[in-house]
Structure 1
Amino acid sequence: MKKRVISLMLGMVLTTGLLAGCNGSNGTEGPKPEEGEQAITEISLPIVTEPLTINYWRANDGKIASGNGFSDVKAYQEKEKRTGIKVNFTHPPLGQQKDQFNLLVTGNELPDIIYYNWADVSGGPEKLLADGRIVRLNEYIDLYAPNLKKIIAEDEEVRKQISLDDGTIFMFPYLRTDAVKLNATTGLILRQDWLDKLSLKAPTTIDEWYTVLKAFREQDPNGNGKKDELPFTANWGPGNMSKLLDFTPAFGVLGSFQLNGDTVEFGPIQPGYKDFVTTMRKWYEEGLIDPEVMTNDGKAFDYKITNNQAGSYYGGVFSGMAKYLNMMAEKDPNFNLVGAPWTKDKDGVSRSTFRFDTKVLTYGEAITSSVDKDKLKAIVQWMDYNYSPEGHDLFNFGIENESYTRNGDSIAFTDTILKNPNGLTYDQALAGYALSIMDGPMNQDTRYLDALMTFDQQKEANKLWMEADYSKALPTLRKTEDEARKEAQIMGQVNTYIDEMLTKFVLGSEPLTSYDTFVETIKGMGIEEVTKIYQDAYDRYQAR
């Protein structure tokens, strides 16, 4: 096995370097590195010569077809051969991850590594650091993780996003350094064949959307003479109108907290939100919105699209486009889909509801305080291997010439993935080889996306959605334990009230003359206090 030497920007550094110099948490820092210990510049394989087993806890993923979870993923099997380190995975039952996680971190027995969505932790990783359940990793990344360290040193946004407000790094993260392309994979989708039949173009403004939806409703684009078309539908689960919020940027607002320059605001109490509600009510009254949006489930949603009823909806390039293009290829050769640009606001700016520049996601691997120094050094190198050139390819694409092939810098998935002989879907097949189709401690590669987008419609939609401005949306922010507690106390009531009132306004069971009362009620619930929490958290983020 060849060894890879990484040339770090800072060369050989001590623990007083780029990462270790950050002010740390008051919580446990784990076993101390030796004074003056030098940083390694390569991960030598195998990492260990004596047997070593890592106990690793993470939730299973439904895409993995086998019943054994991540131990059956070929990337991990190959990694064991290369590193000499065996992994014993523990998976909580699907649907019980959060309860099992809470029991785990409050119990006496901790695994070596926990992979989790740390945004879903009560008190955040800060509390687990303070309680001594996980360890601060700055010094160990500085010493033993040349690949992740190089990424952090070369990308200021990664450094900013991977750090807590005090500079602590606590995880090896799920990364997207080429963020925009990978994040801009969802948006509004329409029937291109209906547009063609009616001599219309994909809408770019809210007025153009009205024109298109009105034509879908009145001009029989499915050609069955019944006028049973549903101009806009969605599958968001019973009880709310949340997918309509994808139209909010057209009115200069978002459906929750938003940025106005560097000032945090709450979208639903801004004037533009009333214009949004008024427009959605008009659409609903005129039959432009599926009357069953409150009860649609996945099966009903699929039926409406594949039975020539749905004209537009919100979806992704895979589950919202490729799925239906494949399903309809033989049933209706004319069936065609197109991505619409994020709707322009009054200033002519196409805006999205979320950020495309998120490079460090909230998922990642943390090391627990149960690990001693000798084992910790090996574990950090084992974790860092995923970010090396070889580990990067392994966890993005799987096994060369088995799950993928190369053509210069491009990669292509084999028929093992795209036309699986055992009848697995492409995502199930790829999940048996690599993590890129799921989430995991790796730097996700855009080439995985390119190789899976087999329809031109997907590629064009992805390209179009990337053009939207996302500056109104907030980045991922850290709250103190007190801030998070206060936010949860207030926003639980606020969000329930907004969901209820949005539904009533759109369905017409609440008159729009009540809108001012709606705004005052939200203010009375303490929204200004939570807005200040977000402002303080945003200011701390900017100061990292």
Structure 2
Amino acid sequence: MKKAIATMLALGLVVPMAAGCAGKEENNKDGGGTNAAASAPGKAGDATEKIKIEIMTASWTGGGWPDNNHPIIQYIDDKFNVDLQMQWVPNANFVEKMNVVSASGKMPDVIRLDSTMFLKWADQGVFMDLQPYLAAYPTLHGVATPESWALLNPKGKIYGIPIYETAQNSTYARKDWLDSLGIPQPADDAFTIDKFYEIAKAFTTQDPDKNGKPDTFGFSALGNSLKLGDPQLEAAFGLANGWKEANGELVPVETQGPEWTAFLSFMRKAYEEGVLDKDFITNTNFNDKYAQGKVGFALDMHYQFSQQTNKQLQTIAPNGQFVELSPPIGAGGARGTTTPTSGMLKVVLNKDMDAEKRDRILKLFDWWVSPEGEDIIKNGIEGEQYEKNDDGTFKMTDALKAEGEGRQSLLWNWVLRGNTNTFNIYKWSDAKWAADMKKSIDDAGKYPYKNAADGYLSSSATYAQKGGELDDKFLQSVLAIISGKKPVDSILDAIADWKKNGGDRIVEEVNAAYKAGQ
């Protein structure tokens, strides 16, 4: 995908943006930051002058740390002679905030962006090209594959540091319900889509919680997403995770008529028989229904969430437990679990900084993703977030217990992390828990289910203009079919409508970018 940005520019996707970005903290000593001596590790990092560094990133549940006096920030400040200032922006407001800071000409020094926002500004001359400097920071350079570094970047330039991502989610089932109904936990190679439905129907009709009420169902779905929150089911029916590659062309899921017909027939039957949650159209998340003991299968859950859900579940059902299964097998052996593409998330540097600040930041990030840096950024500071026991093991401090495990690792999870699949495993984690979580992530990686258009879809001007509207209209047809308001074969009309009203043009533009990048 080395030419996709050029294609995007030709299609007129980028938008105007204030050229004058963040005011410089120091004078630009080398007239553009290309001084070779300043580029070498140890030069800027020896640093006698304290440098202020502003990092803006999205935040999620719980928000960011309330101030910049956190022990990890203080450690970084002391080690690198910097004044690290974090701007935690709620994810729901991040696009708005990015628009504001870009228009103001006062962009922070470092920003974490998703692929859409990265592409929006990548060629506006506001991000620093890191290509000339990466060789001097080998640990940072080794944080991703060459493909991840190249993804979304124009040929010969590196505007963003890729953030490593890996498959985590898989299928989970209520083991206590299986035991209650005398159903053996299905073996990996025998867990077909038919076996899935058989068990899901038993969860619905055979009173697995033994409360004498018809108040359970096999599985649920999300009515606000074309993926419906059930990617393992869609994979089993051969539906693409957005787009798939076939005979050298990228094919969108919206055009897969036979696969949609088979999938929607399955979902319609599940809805009519009560196997699918009747309220699925209004669902926006599954958390409450999992924890309330109403659903038998969770179809897009990861190990850490399963353990948290089990604790919540056990307050009302002491034996309640979700256990992991491999995804169900469809016709021809199709199966998969959502696999993100590493490099679609980026950490960018504002180009309007002098060489000393640039190299201080790059030296910080080179340490950040090293084993030593990971230890601090992920686990925290000994005596503050954890303590060492006499036997050499570790435990959380009372302060971290009160704040919540994981709160110490916000910089690791929400800013930048190394290429590891153990980013939620800490020094004090129970050994079995840690081993089980790592195994779960490894197992999820066995069934890749990637979007083949990652890095290309944003090259379509038509998708930028009409994609959301087209996707929403297609989703409404899908929901109407599942809920019995339209016949299953009406999906063919929805496909034709999608293609006629812009879909064919989207396919043409995405494939042009795809072929240009090969």
Q: TM-score scaled to structure 2, two decimals? A: 0.82
Alpha-carbon distance in structure 2 between the residues aligned to 1:412 and 1:349: 43
2:129 matches 1:142: no
Aligned twin of 2:32 = 31
The one of 239, 251, 254 aligned to 1:253? 239
Q: Is the 8 Å Cα contact of residues 258 and 265 (structure 1) preserved in structure 2?
A: yes
The one of 90, 98, 101 aligned to 2:98? 101
Letter in 1 for 2:172: I
Evaluate the alpha carbon distance shift between residue 310 and residue 401 of structure 1 in structure 2; reply closer, same or farther with a 3 A threshold. Answer: same
Aligned twin of 1:7 = none
Q: Is the 8 Å Cα contact of residues 184 and 466 (structure 1) preserved in structure 2?
A: yes
Q: How does 1:40-189 map to 2 (within 5 A)?
A: 40=40, 42-43=41-42, 47-64=46-63, 66-68=65-67, 71-92=68-89, 95-111=92-108, 113-121=109-117, 123-127=119-123, 131-143=124-136, 145-151=137-143, 155-161=145-151, 164-176=153-165, 183-189=166-172
TM-align CA RMSD:
3.5
Evaluate the alpha carbon distance shift between residue 151 and residue 55 of structure 1 in structure 2; reply closer, same or farther with a 3 A threshold. Answer: closer
Aligned twin of 1:446 = 421
Alpha-carbon distance in structure 2 between the residues aligned to 1:326 and 1:306: 8
Q: Is the 8 Å Cα contact of residues 270 and 276 (structure 2) preserved in structure 1?
A: yes
Q: How does 1:31-430 map to 2 (within 5 A)?
A: 31-34=32-35, 40=40, 42-43=41-42, 47-64=46-63, 66-68=65-67, 71-92=68-89, 95-111=92-108, 113-121=109-117, 123-127=119-123, 131-143=124-136, 145-151=137-143, 155-161=145-151, 164-176=153-165, 183-200=166-183, 201-202=185-186, 204-234=191-221, 236=222, 242-254=228-240, 256-260=242-246, 262-270=248-256, 271-296=258-283, 301-317=286-302, 320-329=305-314, 331-352=316-337, 354-355=338-339, 358-364=341-347, 366-400=348-382, 402-403=384-385, 414-416=395-397, 423-428=402-407, 430=408
Evaluate the alpha carbon distance shift between residue 66 and residue 187 of structure 1 in structure 2; reply closer, same or farther with a 3 A threshold. Answer: same
2:513 matches 1:537: yes
Letter in 2 for 1:224: N
Q: Is the 8 Å Cα contact of residues 80 and 360 (structure 2) preserved in structure 1?
A: no
Q: Displacement, 1:244?
A: 3.8
Q: Displacement, 1:138?
A: 0.9
Q: Is the 8 Å Cα contact of residues 228 and 309 (structure 1) preserved in structure 2?
A: yes
Alpha-carbon distance in structure 1 between the residues aligned to 2:235 and 2:498: 21
The one of 455, 467, 478 aligned to 1:491? 467
CA deviations over 1:383-438 (Å, ceiling 9, x no partner): 3331333223222222246545799xxx976223xx7565333233x34xx533x3
Evaluate the alpha carbon distance shift between residue 255 and residue 108 of structure 1 in structure 2; reply closer, same or farther with a 3 A threshold. Answer: closer
Letter in 2 for 1:198: L
Evaluate the alpha carbon distance shift between residue 463 and residue 517 of structure 1 in structure 2; reply closer, same or farther with a 3 A threshold. Answer: same
Q: Displacement, 1:274?
A: 1.2
CA deviations over 1:457-481 (Å, ceiling 9, x no partner): 75664443232133x532631467x
Q: Is the 8 Å Cα contact of residues 239 and 294 (structure 1) preserved in structure 2?
A: no
SS in structure 2 at match of 1:172 = strand
Alpha-carbon distance in structure 2 between the residues aligned to 1:54 and 1:334: 50
Evaluate the alpha carbon distance shift between residue 125 and residue 214 of structure 1 in structure 2; reply closer, same or farther with a 3 A threshold. Answer: same
Unaligned 5+ runs, structure 1: 1-22, 177-182
Q: Displacement, 1:319?
A: 6.1
Q: Displacement, 1:60?
A: 4.2
SS in structure 1 at match of 2:163 = strand
Alpha-carbon distance in structure 2 between the residues aligned to 1:435 and 1:55: 13
Evaluate the alpha carbon distance shift between residue 406 and residue 447 of structure 1 in structure 2; reply closer, same or farther with a 3 A threshold. Answer: farther
Which of the pair has the greater relative contact order for Cα pairs under 8 Å at 6+ separation?
2
2:477 matches 1:501: yes
Alpha-carbon distance in structure 2 between the residues aligned to 1:92 and 1:463: 32
Q: Is the 8 Å Cα contact of residues 117 and 362 (structure 1) preserved in structure 2?
A: yes
Evaluate the alpha carbon distance shift between residue 46 and residue 303 of structure 1 in structure 2; reply closer, same or farther with a 3 A threshold. Answer: closer
CA deviations over 1:37-62 (Å, ceiling 9, x no partner): 5963x447953112222233334454
The one of 424, 438, 451 aligned to 1:473? 451
Letter in 2 for 1:116: R
Alpha-carbon distance in structure 1 between the residues aligned to 2:105 and 2:353: 13
Evaluate the alpha carbon distance shift between residue 72 and residue 414 of structure 1 in structure 2; reply closer, same or farther with a 3 A threshold. Answer: farther
Aligned twin of 2:14 = none
Aligned residues: 483
Aligned twin of 1:511 = 487
Letter in 2 for 1:228: D
Unaligned 5+ runs, structure 2: 1-5, 10-18, 21-29
Percent identity over the alignment? Answer: 20
Q: Displacement, 1:125?
A: 3.6
Q: TM-score scaled to structure 1, two decimals? A: 0.78
Evaluate the alpha carbon distance shift between residue 498 and residue 448 of structure 1 in structure 2; reply closer, same or farther with a 3 A threshold. Answer: same
Alpha-carbon distance in structure 1 between the residues aligned to 2:60 and 2:33: 35
